[in-house]
Amino acid sequence: MSRQRRISAVVALLAAAGLLVAILVFLVNSGLHFVLGVAGLAVAALGAWWAITERGVRRGVGIGVGVLGVAALVSALVLAVVDSGAFVVHLFVAVALGVIAVVSARYALTPHLHELDLMHAPWRPRHPVLICNPKSGGGKVDRFELVEAAHRIGVETVVLGPDDDLEQLARDAVARGADCLGMAGGDGSQALVAAIAIEHDLPFVCVSAGTRNHFALDLGLDRSDPRRNVRAFTDGVIRRVDYATVNGRLFVNNVSLGVYATIVQQDSYRDDKTQTTAALLPELLGNTAEPFDLQFTSADGTAEDGAFLILVSNNPYSGALLDAGERRRMDTGLLGVVAVSPRTGAEAATLVALSAVGLRKTSPHWHEFTTPTFEVSSAGGTAYAGVDGEALELTTPLRFRSHHKGLRLLVPSDNPLAESRRRARDVSVRALVQIAAGRPPG
């Protein structure tokens, strides 16, 4: 363990302790304002629930209540500033300590380049094939000239046509002797071609040519210029990550069940997402709506029924505010499960208030845990599901499984460093103490 990393760990621990003290002092001095702010947030949540689940006059009342809640929240913040003459100073100190803690912790937790070089050896395929979807991401394949970029380095390319079967194109490439498969497209296409690569024990190259590219984001790949991902074919290293399956179908990001999965099944959703959602939410979540036909067992063994949202992800999403929609690691061997089950505005408001003070997991309407396997059943025998954004209807029970390091990726040589920096966001006091003591974390 280098001396610099040990010093950074000590600095991070001291800054974090100082930040905790600063927060406690603020809460003591502004306790009443804090309570008012949380109450305002809860009222705003109550109004929002009514606004999206009711119609007519009741929806108007919900909007009014939501506005009052937001007003109370803003008033609490203003009063906290007015009543504390040193508020700006306290805020500056807290932000400074937070920045120092985060920067020092990430430096301490990020391995040096020579450590990473020992973990990843260069590898270059002899007959790589890149399949390109020209319609993904609004035409990124053509905009970034991915076909030409692949040809320049000797990679065979296959352009997906309107009537082509993507799975068959991948299988045909394997039959022609491909020893590495790549996909330039969205997450759904990535999952399909990755499944063929896994079936034939071939490495897979992810080229971020989709709209959102969540898989590429959580792998630490460059999403702004997919040409940099193509470099993996000539300047790549092997990296193993998890993939997950639901009833044997591979997914790389997540599977959504409940309200979202039901809405995206509608034919009108593609043409007008906002109007379709606004029209269906009162039917799905209103006071006359039936609970969703979804049953599962929570981490403590309790049988749960009727959750309006269940999200099962390939590796858990970060609980941190800034990274809430991201996964810091892709090799934990675990599924992330989040289920939300409030059925009334009051239950939703309570859940929001608890979340504001970091206590959402104490709510009976919030379920969040990790597990290597998971099962969801339904009395009806089928369930709507959004699998990596694709709307499907699947037979229940839905059996989810994490396949630990089952996907062999070929990534650009600088990706291991980007990956280690993402992992360094997952800061724990225990890991910092171990580094400060000169021991490897974990």
Q: Please write the tens of the pLDDT for every residue from 208-236.
A: 999 889 999 999 999 999 999 999 999 99
pLDDT confidence bin for 310, thresholds 50/70/90: very high
| Per-residue pLDDT, 280 | 78
Residues 319 and 355 in one domain: yes
Residues 273 and 375 in one domain: yes
Long-range CB contact pairs, 297-304, < 8 A, 24+: 297/375, 298/339, 298/367, 298/369, 299/367, 299/369, 299/371, 304/339, 304/341, 304/367
| Per-residue pLDDT, 111 | 63
Is 291 within a domain? yes
pLDDT confidence bin for 119, thresholds 50/70/90: low
Is 31 within a domain? yes
Is 213 within a domain? yes
At 169, list the tokens. 């194109």
What's the Cα-to-Cα distance from 308 to each of 285, 369, 401, rounded to whole Å? 8, 17, 22
Mean pLDDT of all residues in 16-37: 78
How much is the pTM?
0.82
Residues 272 and 381 in one domain: yes
At 82, list the tokens. 């007015």
Average model confidence (pLDDT) for the chain?
A: 87
| Per-residue pLDDT, 322 | 47
Mean pLDDT of all residues in 139-148: 96
Dump pLDDT digits (tens) for 228-272: 999 999 999 999 999 999 999 999 999 999 998 988 888 777 667
Residues 397 and 261 in one domain: yes
> Domain ends where: 115, 137, 165?
115
What is the C-alpha to C-alpha distance for residues 141 and 184, in angstroms, rounded to an integer?
A: 7
Mean pLDDT of all residues in 336-362: 85
| Per-residue pLDDT, 169 | 97
Residues 228 and 284 in one domain: no
| Per-residue pLDDT, 3 | 84
Tell me how many helices (H) and strands (E) the chain has: 16, 17
| Per-residue pLDDT, 1 | 63
Is 294 within a domain? yes
Dump pLDDT digits (tens) for 66-85: 899 999 888 887 777 666 55
Percent of the chain with pLDDT over 70: 92
At 369, list the tokens. 């845990």
Residues 221 and 166 in one domain: yes
pLDDT confidence bin for 356, thresholds 50/70/90: confident
Residues 199 and 284 in one domain: no
Is 374 within a domain? yes
At 177, list the tokens. 């002797």
Q: What element of type H or E holds 395?
A: strand 390-395
At 164, list the tokens. 């082509």
Mean pLDDT of all residues in 164-180: 97
pLDDT confidence bin for 97, thresholds 50/70/90: confident
Is 47 within a domain? yes
Is 381 within a domain? yes
**Of 218-222, 306-310, 416-420, 424-428, which gets the smallest average pLDDT?**
424-428
Q: On the CB side of 357, how many CA atoms lie within 13 Å of its CA?
A: 18
| Per-residue pLDDT, 321 | 47
List Cβ neighbours of 64 (8 Å cut-off, separation of 6 or more): 47
| Per-residue pLDDT, 144 | 96
| Per-residue pLDDT, 32 | 79
Mean pLDDT of all residues in 7-24: 86
What total of structural domains would you count in the chain? 3
Mean pLDDT of all residues in 326-331: 90
Mean pLDDT of all residues in 106-128: 71
Residue 195: pLDDT over 60:
yes
Residues 25 and 86 in one domain: yes
What is the C-alpha to C-alpha distance for residues 188 and 24, in angstroms, rounded to an integer?
A: 46
What's the Cα-to-Cα distance from 112 to each of 1, 32, 442, rounded to whole Å? 10, 47, 17
Residues 230 and 272 in one domain: no
Is 165 within a domain? yes
State the CATH number of the domain containing residue 180.
3.40.50.10330
Residues 86 and 151 in one domain: no
| Per-residue pLDDT, 406 | 97
Residues 169 and 265 in one domain: no
The residue segments making up the domain with residue 80 are 3-115
pLDDT confidence bin for 437, thresholds 50/70/90: confident
Residues 221 and 181 in one domain: yes
pLDDT confidence bin for 319, thresholds 50/70/90: low
> Domain ends where: 56, 82, 115?
115
**Of 28-37, 286-295, 330-339, which gets the smallest average pLDDT?**
28-37
State the CATH number of the domain containing residue 306.
2.60.200.40
> Domain ends where: 192, 207, 235?
235
Residue 36: pLDDT over 70:
yes
Please say whether the beta carbons of 224 and 137 come within 8 A: no
| Per-residue pLDDT, 175 | 97
Please say whether the beta carbons of 402 and 242 come within 8 A: yes
